[in-house]
Structure 1
Amino acid sequence: MAAPSLPVARVAVDVSPPHLDRLFDYLISERLDADAVPGCRVRVRFNRQLLDGFLVERVAESDFPGRLSWLERVVSAEPVLSGDLLTLARSVAGRYGGTLSDVLRLAIPPRHARVEQESPWERAASPQRPPTGGWSRYQHGTSFLDAVSEGKPARAVWQALPGELWPERLAEAAATAAASGRSAVIVVPDHRDVRRLEAACAHLVGRRGVVALTSESGPAERYRRWLAVLRGAVRIVVGTRAAMFAPVHELGLAVVWDDGDELHAYPQAPYPHARDVLTHRAHAAGAALVIGGFARTAEAALLVESGWAREIVARRDDVRDAAPRVTAIGEDDKQIARDPAARAARLPSVAFEAARAALRSDAPVLVQVPRRGYVPALACARCRERARCRRCAGPLALPGGTEQGAPKPAACRWCGATEAAFRCDSCGDRRLRAVVVGAGRTAEELGRAFSGVTVRTSGGGDVLTSVPAKAALVVSTPGAEPVAEGGYGAALLLDGRALLARPDLRSSEQALRLWFAAAAMVRSARDGGRVVVMADSTLQPVQALVRWDPSWYAALELADREELGFPPAKRVASVDGSPEAVADMLDSVELPDSGEILGPVPMGEIDEDGRSDRERVLLRVPRRDGRSLADCLHSAQAVRAARKGTEPVRVQLDPLELL
């Protein structure tokens, strides 16, 4: 027998095909009436399968003319899909041309029954508003926190000073929101940032006042913390990209730190970005927003230029007082040949002297190397053709280390096969040369050049959290730099050409972001801090680093993007797949009148006929037609999915990698 009141359940079934992206009606039996509350998890029969879903709402009647199936069971009466979270998921799906079920998969963690039965977390007491002395160094910093305290929708792009203790500043902003009875969500790139930020927040509001949402905590613990947020026990949430969907109550502040980091973008459909999701969420909730970092992206520059957000920046005198001295040295042989020890370490004499001066003052020296490994890329010594494996055509590299007393031979990075008798296919030469040198080889060379000095490495699977304030060389890959107590005495940013020469639209922006992140860890010039970047000083990104002016470069980058018609000036979608699937997708898409089609272009290896197994097409529209582009792509995928048997394509709006 059906439930006596509102017997029809509208269910979001966990199915991926776009043509099934809608709610389905089911009858609720009298037995399930009490537990079938809006937002709960349910199981339903769908296409002869038992699938998961969420009960979105209960209604009195269904518009479906046929016979309704019964709701099989209520998995849990816990209303995990709140109304606000459902609205956010629908908005994100609409913006990126995805499906509701895809977004809900990212937003709601898997259930753990034992965790739901545990006693709920004790609700944290509202903290006192913390002092705002740290924000007073910035123009409009104190007034922004006043607006957060008053519940106003203040929106800001924060340019952190060199050496700034940014976790403490963000913790002060979050505690200000919590003190006013509202919640705060702070999203950072990785787990190391989460730990630092969680500790800073706990110092102000206590351990019970903040919760960290990361995959590092494990499925059960993560669900326990997520439920604490859902039930309103905790008001401050910090975490990696999944935390952007945290089901907080009364959002008062949303924060994204270092929004240019690629880790903020989800690698699963519909590929949402934390900056865009939190920007939309703050706007919809009337909450304050902070996009902060040592560098600035073109997307953040657009928010400032459009007037939607205000800058929070320090005065130029304060920037100069806090910044280290930055020197740019081109990567040429003349600089390296002046000093035998510098030549052994592949360092210009200026960089070598800066490192020695820092070590003499008993301060650690940071050495940033763009590549992991020993020698990750090899080429023919004569013709400079990239060295490739004879078996699978993969790139050859030197793994480092020895084998029976001799250096290990080159090996393929794809299949792992060794290549002890290399012969170039183009010129026949047997000699190899390094295209780039990895962190392992750099650490080895520095150890020989600076005898008696401790050399530490950070990167890959062994990332250091911090290093003591003692003389040492810290060789790190970008993004893995450990925090040094009291700051580094010097930073050497090697192989700048390798970062700037990446065939990607954002290569210069990314290189500058990585340089600023490393240079911000160095002591100020007044305390002897030096940064040496091995890159041409005439390049605009290098000039921005030397002048410590990220906003200037971000404005230039935005102007270039507007001229070229790339994001964020326009909305762009990439369609990847086989040539046949891409062509079929283009036939199914009805672009707005303002739309443009760029391509197709081959991806990967190209055969003798100039064809490739995969192709890419870019679809471009003005920002005002961005939602229309997302809608037409969703509709085209729904049409193709309904046909059955069509090859899949990968559709991504505003992809980070375009070239």
Structure 2
Amino acid sequence: MEATGGAAGEQLTLAGLPEPVLGGRGRSAARRRTPEGLEPAASLPVARLCIDLPPAHLDRVFEYLVPEQLSAAAVPGTRVKVRFGRQDVDGYVLARTPDAEHDGALQPLRRVVSAEPVLSDAVARLARAVADRYAGTLADVLRLAIPPRHARVESEPAPPGGPATGLPSGPETPSPVHGRLSGEAWLPYRGGPAFLQHLAAGSAPRAVWTALPGPVGARWPDAVAQAVQACLVSGRGALVVVPDARDVAQVCEALDRAEVPACTPDAPGGYVRLAAEDGAAPRYRAFLAALRGRARVVVGTRAAAFAPVADLGLVVCWDDGDDLHAEPRAPYPHVREVVRLRAELEDAAVLLAAHARSVESQALVETGWAREVSADRAVLRARTPRVRALTSVELAREGAAASARLPGEAWRAIREHLAHGPVLVQVPRAGYVPAVACGRCRALARCTACHGPLSLTSADGVPQCGWCGRLATEWRCAECGAGALRSVRVGSERTAEELGRAFPGVPVRSSGARSATGVLASVPATPALVVATTGAEPVCDAGYAAGVLLDAAVASASTSLRGAEDALRRWLAAAALVRPSTDGGVVLLVGDGAPRPTQALVRWDPAGLAARELAERHELALPPSVRVVAVTGGREAVRAVLARLELPPGADVLGPVPVDEGSGVVRSGVASGRGRAAAAPAQGSFEPEVRALVRAPVAAGDALVRTVAASVAVRSARREGGTVRVQVDPSEML
């Protein structure tokens, strides 16, 4: 049949049939896939979205049509509402494109929640990299990266001095540094001045820094502030991530001393705090200041690792071995790895710093990814206090008194140094008496209802269960029938009470989360006894005259893979607050601690301990010398996930085995007490969870993570029963 009236090359149609959709995906194709009566955007009518839905099989980009009335507001990075199935869900616009990859009809955007583009391109790429690194989803990572919206803060008028979108980034932004570049805090370290010079020149050095104690102006916050100052001189922004709000305050004070002011509406270009403790409105206001380019420096806690700093030049992670840097929510990223990925994506400098050194940081040094910045032994001896370990061998001459919790030599050292200033006493346990036992047979006292451990909250208090909270008013030992109790572990409150009686007339200050006064930020330089739990030691500007680290055996008795590393890190954090030996400062470690961390503390050699731990990990094929994925859940669910894995060469599977008691489930297969509460929701029964470890060489780590993520996605799509939790490179394996 011959065509009439048609242009050359045009496909003919029969009357009554719709026109065929041509291969091109231009605006006309988008119009034909549009719901009737909806006008698509004249420019870039297709939006590529990340939808905030948890199932793993939905971790992909979805395409939606942009109506013309939403085109101006639906820019990349904005929050939107879309229809997915039978529900309205949140999402982020990742990009706008002229063509769609989907051949069917596109659903339109329902509305733009906010015209503020809260998701920058750099943060979106980082979030995708973190999700791939930890076998997670982009939506889960974005929940960690972007704080909840605060509409009142968004509606605040734009500050003077720049448009609503902020000042231009890069060298054109006014530098907040008004004084000369200072680097005195880095002079005692090998490679320290060179690190600052590279920063000021616009380079991207990578360093692992072992910080030393020192006076005000030479401590770690001052050195971090000077590194930030050098980065600002090069016209770039900086990001500092610390474990808690107290560290945030110290860094901010150091930035003020370095003449890097706080960012205000009238004075942009300085620093902002980004911490959840500040509240929703201040946190979101600081986030917007960084997003709009008004703040060049961000100082914050864990989630600040994703802060949208414009033209990022330096990322600092202080104390990367602290547990607070490990995200407890899926996909469980660690700040150290987020910082490392971000530095590679944005070509920024990295500074991993601490008084101690983690095994992971040591691995980065030994592989050449980062350079070591540390001080010579002569400088170390001049800057650190004298450390003595009062072990049972050291105190053997005292006879039976050597077994006392506070032996005579420690008591005499406290009395002597109280004349020169405050004395710090670190206690690894909080509370009064956190664990008690039978006074006759020494069996651990447990609750008769749930078998949880009993504890005392005061000297005349009634024993109370630590799991169910029930009072044991008429407790009797199940082994021998005796009713007397004795302390097994002594907490900080009981320690403060005993020291108050031993040193009458001396003020005793307690610092801890459970203390009546809470966690103290600082104490004056007047004579006093400061009793603090680990991690809650207040700062004394003049330095403590002495430090006593009690219960070394308890602090280092963990069976954790990083037990020795954690013990040394906590001891060094307290010892770094004591005056140097040239000013009479002394640190006493009381108790028979584990030999390795004890010797490393006496020598003040965290790098040596990290190197030995890493060498053993290589021999035993343990992280970070290998990549490990832990799969935890019901036995059948875990087996189904493992059965679908396509393991890379050199990979193997360990387990599955029942989860240990430390997770709330006993190995015998019968859960009781708190273990039942933990296991029952997961399985619908009292069957305990199991865990399998999938291990692969570092070179095959990415392939291992991909196959685990694919298996979890299949499980999600099939809606398989049970629960499964996947954790890449878990901090705990034993």
TM-score (norm 1): 0.95
Amino acid across the alignment from 1:207: A
Amino acid across the alignment from 2:256: A
Aligned to 1:98: 136
Are the counterparts in 1 of residues 135 and 331 from structure 2 also a CA contact under 8 Å?
Answer: yes
Aligned to 1:347: 406
Q: Equivalent of 1:412, from 465, 468, 483?
A: 465
1:168 aligns with 2:222: yes
Are the counterparts in 2 of residues 162 and 319 from structure 1 also a CA contact under 8 Å?
Answer: no
Amino acid across the alignment from 1:627: D
1:322 aligns with 2:383: yes
State the secondary structure of the residue aligned to 1:466: coil
The 5-angstrom pairing of residues 16-165 of structure 1 reads 16-121=54-159, 122=161, 125-126=174-175, 127-128=177-178, 129-163=180-214, 164-165=218-219
Percent of matched pairs sharing the same residue: 51
1:331 shift after superposition: 5.2
1:534 shift after superposition: 1.8
1:433 shift after superposition: 2.6
1:10 shift after superposition: 1.0
1:312 aligns with 2:367: no
The structure having more radius of gyration, on CA atoms, is: 2
State the secondary structure of the residue aligned to 1:6: coil
Q: Equivalent of 2:262, from 194, 207, 232?
A: 207
Question: 1: distance between equivalents of 2:668 and 2:292?
Answer: 61
Aligned to 2:683: none
Against the structure 1 CA distance between its residues 607 and 232, is the aligned structure 2 distance closer, same or farther, given a 3 Å change threshold? closer
Question: 1: distance between equivalents of 2:61 and 2:229?
Answer: 39
1:282 shift after superposition: 1.1
Amino acid across the alignment from 1:158: W
1:247 aligns with 2:308: yes
State the secondary structure of the residue aligned to 1:205: coil
Against the structure 1 CA distance between its residues 115 and 607, is the aligned structure 2 distance closer, same or farther, given a 3 Å change threshold? closer
Question: 1: distance between equivalents of 2:374 and 2:689?
Answer: 45
Aligned to 1:391: 449
Against the structure 1 CA distance between its residues 386 and 599, is the aligned structure 2 distance closer, same or farther, given a 3 Å change threshold? farther
1:610 shift after superposition: 6.5
Against the structure 1 CA distance between its residues 626 and 7, is the aligned structure 2 distance closer, same or farther, given a 3 Å change threshold? same
1:294 aligns with 2:355: yes
Against the structure 1 CA distance between its residues 636 and 545, is the aligned structure 2 distance closer, same or farther, given a 3 Å change threshold? same
Amino acid across the alignment from 2:645: V
Judge which range, 559-568 or 478-487, deviates more.
Answer: 559-568
Are the counterparts in 2 of residues 338 and 349 from structure 1 also a CA contact under 8 Å?
Answer: no
State the secondary structure of the residue aligned to 1:211: strand
Question: 2: distance between equivalents of 1:189 and 1:608?
Answer: 37
State the secondary structure of the residue aligned to 1:263: helix
Question: 1: distance between equivalents of 2:533 and 2:576?
Answer: 16
Aligned to 1:516: 572
Aligned to 1:628: 703
1:601 shift after superposition: 2.3
Question: 2: distance between equivalents of 1:125 and 1:61?
Answer: 40
Amino acid across the alignment from 1:355: I
Are the counterparts in 2 of residues 97 and 633 from structure 1 also a CA contact under 8 Å?
Answer: yes
Are the counterparts in 2 of residues 335 and 349 from structure 1 also a CA contact under 8 Å?
Answer: no
Question: 1: distance between equivalents of 2:476 and 2:140?
Answer: 49
Q: Structure 2 unaligned runs (5+)?
A: 1-38, 162-166, 168-172, 264-269, 672-686
1:383 shift after superposition: 4.3
Judge which range, 121-130 or 184-193, deviates more.
Answer: 121-130
1:438 aligns with 2:523: no
The 5-angstrom pairing of residues 219-234 of structure 1 reads 219-234=280-295
Q: Equivalent of 1:556, from 598, 612, 629?
A: 612
Per-residue deviation, residues 215-250 of structure 1 (Å, max 9, x unmatched): 112112111111110111111111101110010111
Per-residue deviation, residues 354-399 of structure 1 (Å, max 9, x unmatched): 11111122x1111111010011112234444322111111111111
Question: 1: distance between equivalents of 2:713 and 2:383?
Answer: 54
Are the counterparts in 2 of residues 370 and 478 from structure 1 also a CA contact under 8 Å?
Answer: yes
Are the counterparts in 2 of residues 11 and 26 from structure 1 also a CA contact under 8 Å?
Answer: yes
Per-residue deviation, residues 589-621 of structure 1 (Å, max 9, x unmatched): 332232221222222343766785112211111
Amino acid across the alignment from 2:719: K
Amino acid across the alignment from 1:47: G
Are the counterparts in 1 of residues 239 and 298 from structure 2 also a CA contact under 8 Å?
Answer: yes
Are the counterparts in 1 of residues 658 and 669 from structure 2 also a CA contact under 8 Å?
Answer: no
State the secondary structure of the residue aligned to 1:281: helix
Against the structure 1 CA distance between its residues 333 and 300, is the aligned structure 2 distance closer, same or farther, given a 3 Å change threshold? closer
Are the counterparts in 1 of residues 405 and 551 from structure 2 also a CA contact under 8 Å?
Answer: no
Q: Structure 1 unaligned runs (5+)?
A: 402-406
Question: 2: distance between equivalents of 1:189 and 1:561?
Answer: 26
Per-residue deviation, residues 428-469 of structure 1 (Å, max 9, x unmatched): 443333221110111111111111111111001410011110
TM-score (norm 2): 0.86
Against the structure 1 CA distance between its residues 430 and 25, is the aligned structure 2 distance closer, same or farther, given a 3 Å change threshold? same
Question: 2: distance between equivalents of 1:480 and 1:579?
Answer: 40
Aligned to 1:180: 234
Question: 2: distance between equivalents of 1:367 and 1:436?
Answer: 16
Are the counterparts in 2 of residues 335 and 348 from structure 1 also a CA contact under 8 Å?
Answer: no
Against the structure 1 CA distance between its residues 21 and 617, is the aligned structure 2 distance closer, same or farther, given a 3 Å change threshold? same
Are the counterparts in 1 of residues 358 and 565 from structure 2 also a CA contact under 8 Å?
Answer: yes
Q: Equivalent of 1:265, from 299, 311, 326?
A: 326
Question: 1: distance between equivalents of 2:542 and 2:360?
Answer: 33
Question: 1: distance between equivalents of 2:188 and 2:433?
Answer: 44
1:400 aligns with 2:461: no
Against the structure 1 CA distance between its residues 313 and 390, is the aligned structure 2 distance closer, same or farther, given a 3 Å change threshold? same
Q: Equivalent of 2:623, from 561, 567, 575?
A: 567
Amino acid across the alignment from 2:619: E
Question: 2: distance between equivalents of 1:572 and 1:346?
Answer: 40
Are the counterparts in 2 of residues 499 and 508 from structure 1 also a CA contact under 8 Å?
Answer: no
Against the structure 1 CA distance between its residues 337 and 346, is the aligned structure 2 distance closer, same or farther, given a 3 Å change threshold? farther
Aligned to 2:422: 364
Against the structure 1 CA distance between its residues 485 and 496, is the aligned structure 2 distance closer, same or farther, given a 3 Å change threshold? same
Amino acid across the alignment from 1:171: A
Question: 2: distance between equivalents of 1:583 and 1:390?
Answer: 36
Question: 2: distance between equivalents of 1:349 and 1:306?
Answer: 47
Question: 2: distance between equivalents of 1:262 and 1:390?
Answer: 33
Amino acid across the alignment from 2:493: G
Against the structure 1 CA distance between its residues 338 and 162, is the aligned structure 2 distance closer, same or farther, given a 3 Å change threshold? farther
Aligned to 2:502: 449
State the secondary structure of the residue aligned to 2:100: coil
Against the structure 1 CA distance between its residues 253 and 334, is the aligned structure 2 distance closer, same or farther, given a 3 Å change threshold? closer
Give the RMSD, CA atoms, in angstroms: 2.0
Question: 1: distance between equivalents of 2:723 and 2:204?
Answer: 42
Against the structure 1 CA distance between its residues 292 and 222, is the aligned structure 2 distance closer, same or farther, given a 3 Å change threshold? same
State the secondary structure of the residue aligned to 1:626: helix
State the secondary structure of the residue aligned to 1:600: strand
Amino acid across the alignment from 1:643: R
Are the counterparts in 1 of residues 432 and 494 from structure 2 also a CA contact under 8 Å?
Answer: yes
Amino acid across the alignment from 2:119: L
Per-residue deviation, residues 106-165 of structure 1 (Å, max 9, x unmatched): 111111222222233455730245221221111111111000011112111111112351
Aligned to 1:404: none
Question: 2: distance between equivalents of 1:336 and 1:215?
Answer: 52
Judge which range, 108-117 or 152-161, deviates more.
Answer: 108-117
Per-residue deviation, residues 276-317 of structure 1 (Å, max 9, x unmatched): 111111122221111111100101111111111111111110
Question: 2: distance between equivalents of 1:247 and 1:542?
Answer: 42
Question: 1: distance between equivalents of 2:552 and 2:707?
Answer: 41
Against the structure 1 CA distance between its residues 537 and 274, is the aligned structure 2 distance closer, same or farther, given a 3 Å change threshold? closer
Against the structure 1 CA distance between its residues 346 and 448, is the aligned structure 2 distance closer, same or farther, given a 3 Å change threshold? farther
Question: 1: distance between equivalents of 2:397 and 2:321?
Answer: 33
Question: 2: distance between equivalents of 1:505 and 1:59?
Answer: 49
Amino acid across the alignment from 1:187: V
Aligned to 1:503: 559
Are the counterparts in 2 of residues 339 and 349 from structure 1 also a CA contact under 8 Å?
Answer: no
Question: 2: distance between equivalents of 1:538 and 1:375?
Answer: 23
State the secondary structure of the residue aligned to 1:523: coil
